[in-house]
Amino acid sequence: QADLKTFHQFEVYGEAVITLLTVQNTVNTERVELAAPDLVFEQIRAVLEDIPPVAIKTGALGSDEVVRAVARALEGFPATLVVDPVMTSKHGRALASEPASKAIREVLLGRAELVTPNIPEAEAFTGIAIHTTEDMRRAALCLRKMGARDVLIKGGHLRGSPTDVLLTGDRWIEFPAERLPTPHTHGTGCAYSAAITAALARGMNLAEAVTSAKQYISEAIRSAPGLGRGHGPVNHHAPWR
């Protein structure tokens, strides 16, 4: 839902494929139910054969069977792929098994135009402890060796400024931001990667897309509506440019 709201704000037409369902609110995540792999495959097939997208992003995939179903469904399809390797919910509930993470490394990273892990996800994939932007660069190079074309490591878990690090081609670009004192960051990673995907679909190059998405998500956090008793959602109505 966060993805679709973000796509709408970026004035692109979003199409959703459900991979798992959660019982959650701003306070906790109580239950996670995975969709059957064949159902995921058939949803993707139905979308691709009728309204083929220009850009695609993945989010929480849950199991290795679902990851492999996604990879099979996208095989040979000429769309930009952004892989957001979501591993846990905002409340720490697992949204991807270890076999799922392994499957992402094996069958999705090599297909991805961009992979967008946060620091804990990048640490889990690479085994590199990340405390600084230099550590982020080492992890990005490691993810590239695993097959990812370009890598954006999100720095929200850093101490100090939440600087993101992008490796694109042979260029390094850092995206610093002000750390905002708010608990209302539910859906930040999903909205950020969705904004990048939407900007790519609109024809921006990767550096432009990340710049636009970073501005959007920073404003979405700053202007969060303050809903719920826990980690409330960001403001998906935030302007972008």
Active site residues: 154, 185, 187-190
Cβ neighbours of residue 178 under 8 Å, at least 6 residues apart?
161, 218
Report whether 200 contacts 80 (CB < 8 A). yes
Distance, in Å, from the CA atom of 105 to the CA atom of 101, rounded to the nearest integer, reads 6
User: 20 pairs with which residues across the strands?
Assistant: 34
What is the amino acid identity at position 154?
Answer: K
**Six token digits for residue 152:** 């954006």
DSSP the chain: -HHHHHHHHTT--------EEEEE-SS-EEEEEEPPHHHHHHHHHHHHHHS--SEEEE---BSHHHHHHHHHHHTT--SEEEE----B-TTS-BSB-HHHHHHIIIIIGGG-SEE--BHHHHHHHH-----SHHHHHHHHHHHHHTT-SEEEEB-TTSSSS--EEEEETTEEEEE--PPP--S--BTHHHHHHHHHHHHHHTT--HHHHHHHHHHHHHHHHHT----SSSSPBP-TT----
- Residue 78 has, within 13 A of its CA and on its CB side, a CA count of 0
